[in-house]
Structure 1
Amino acid sequence: MLFTDLPFLDRFAAARQAGFDAVEFLFPYAYDPDQLSERLHRHQLQLVLHNMPPGDWSAGDRGMACDPRRSDEFRVGVQQAIAFATELGVTRLHCMAGKLPGGLAPERAHETLVANLQYAADRCQEHGIRVLIEPINTYDIPGYFLNRSGQALDIIDACARSNVWLQYDIYHMQRMEGELANTIRACLPRIGHMQLADTPGRHEPGTGEINYPFLFQLLDELGYDGWIGCEYHPLAGTADGLGWLARQGAGG
């Protein structure tokens, strides 16, 4: 979502030049793994995360893991994701739950999601990979099945797999439930990755209502030592907007 004025493969160099040590992106599947690996090694970047295949994105799919009619397709996607992850040194894969299919009871979607996550977790465990699930707000993706942090923790508990973790996106959870500080504090032992953007607008920290200096200080006090992905749309150019890192207390 950053450096979008550049072709995708050129964004790695831009990220390194801007001072980033690591990157993440949605999907690697349009590229040869060797292309991506070469960019990562050339610019000394770690790839922290990518998503499992989401289905037909252009047709509106946003994952399929809660859809019992697509479990076979989901399992093929898990193997594809693992193949890319092992080639690229990725130890976290985000599994998108998908939208609740029309006419499907939420209880059946929950059961399907748990079963599919158990399958993914078992396959990923063999490669030392964590499976992450992320609650996403239903304003940006109407009908998205997994949309609250408590729901995500219930699903993680039902999976009973040590490598299923919560991906906590501050922007999405501000829109869905607020109460950020207390929720982060309660969820932190099971958070495997975080992401950020401000709201309204989904721009960089400092452009909206979220008190990021307070949250960054809280994360330091709580001892969070994981990555935080910059999943926002820059208000202006990416490089011009990176001053927030210092102004909001997130370092240089």
Structure 2
Amino acid sequence: MKWNEFVVSANLSLLFAELPYAERFRAAAEAGFTAVETWWPFAEAVPAGREVDELLQAIEASGLRLTGLNFFAGDMAGGERGVACRPERVEELTASTAVLLRIAEATGCRHFNLLHGQLDLEGDVELQHRTAVGAYRRAAEAVAAVGGTVLVEPLARGLNGSYPLTTHTEVLELVDEAGVPGLSLLLDTFHLGMNGVDVPAAVEASAGRIGHVQVADVRDRHEPGSGELDWDAIAAALRRAGYDGVVGAEYRPAGGTVAGLGWLDPA
């Protein structure tokens, strides 16, 4: 199974990291990608209008489609993994959502990853859970205006602090609790694999509820084929599950980005 049978988007928060961020769009196009995705590309929840304009110009100049965008997730470099569960960050997340919608309207992007956030285990955990459920409901309602889908992602234990969603099952339970349209699982092979989940089985168990797929191998988060996962089995499971969406290449290249793209079309 060749992965180029899927539409594969380059996650520019990790790929082409040898280049300044604004130059990665052109580099992705030159490497043969037609689509890209990105984490929240700004340092602040509400960036200056000039920063948004520069992002939109880089996307347009590259000729690429933006197929995925994260909501503001706090200080990712500093260890934060989202703010959806934090009562004190509600206004900040709401303000940043207006920026996200501007980008969505300008680019046609329709898939948006809202990271749950790490729990403050010394605080009111139940309040934080209710806050997260409310944040997912409001996000789904907001992106419905552009026909969008909010993605809910499990993350690897031990690498992401007190982030409570670690399996596809836990994500789908939260989606069911939120009880609104427009919420789907983001199935990330690295995070599930690191947590000991059988990835092909998770794909089949989540059939019809997967909004997006991201790929990286276990255990070093390098390109597919560099580690432990069975990529033929994962691709076959996606086909059996009827997944016909975008597959995001969200990994840290073992060497140069271009040098590591052979997994897309193996000989």
**Structure 2 length-normalised TM:** 0.87
Within-5 A mapping of 1:186-205: 186-205=205-224
Gaps of 5+ in 1: none
Q: How many Å separate the matches in 2 of 1:116 and 1:232?
A: 27
Within-5 A mapping of 1:157-236: 157-236=176-255
Within-5 A mapping of 1:1-252: 1-29=14-42, 32-247=51-266
User: What is the one-letter code of the residue matched to 2:24?
Assistant: R
CA drift at 1:33: 2.9
Could you say what secondary structure the match of 2:150 adopts?
strand
User: What is the one-letter code of the residue matched to 2:15?
Assistant: L
Could you say what secondary structure the match of 1:193 adopts?
strand
Q: How many Å separate the matches in 2 of 1:106 and 1:171?
A: 27
CA drift at 1:58: 4.5
Q: Deviations over 1:129-172 (max 9, x none)?
A: 21111011122212112222111101111111111111110110
User: What is the one-letter code of the residue matched to 1:36?
Assistant: L
CA distance change for structure 1 residues 6 and 188 in 2, over 3 Å: closer, same or farther? Answer: same
User: What is the one-letter code of the residue matched to 1:246?
Assistant: D
Q: Give the paired residue count.
A: 248
Match of 2:7 in 1: none
Could you say what secondary structure the match of 1:228 adopts?
strand
Greater mean alpha carbon deviation, residues 68-77 or residues 94-103:
68-77
Contact 2:56 2:103 in 1 (8 A): no
Contact 1:165 1:190 in 2 (8 A): yes
Could you say what secondary structure the match of 1:192 adopts?
strand
Q: How many Å separate the matches in 1 of 2:95 and 2:146?
A: 16
Contact 1:28 1:84 in 2 (8 A): no
CA drift at 1:106: 4.0
Q: How many Å separate the matches in 1 of 2:236 and 2:75?
A: 40
Contact 2:73 2:82 in 1 (8 A): yes
Q: How many Å separate the matches in 1 of 2:75 and 2:62?
A: 31
Could you say what secondary structure the match of 1:53 adopts?
coil
CA drift at 1:8: 1.2
CA drift at 1:27: 1.6
Higher relative contact order (CA 8 A, sep 6+): 2
CA drift at 1:59: 4.0
Q: Runs of 4+ in structure 1 displaced over 4 angstroms?
A: none
Could you say what secondary structure the match of 2:28 adopts?
helix
CA drift at 1:39: 2.6
Q: Give RMSD over aligned pairs.
A: 1.8
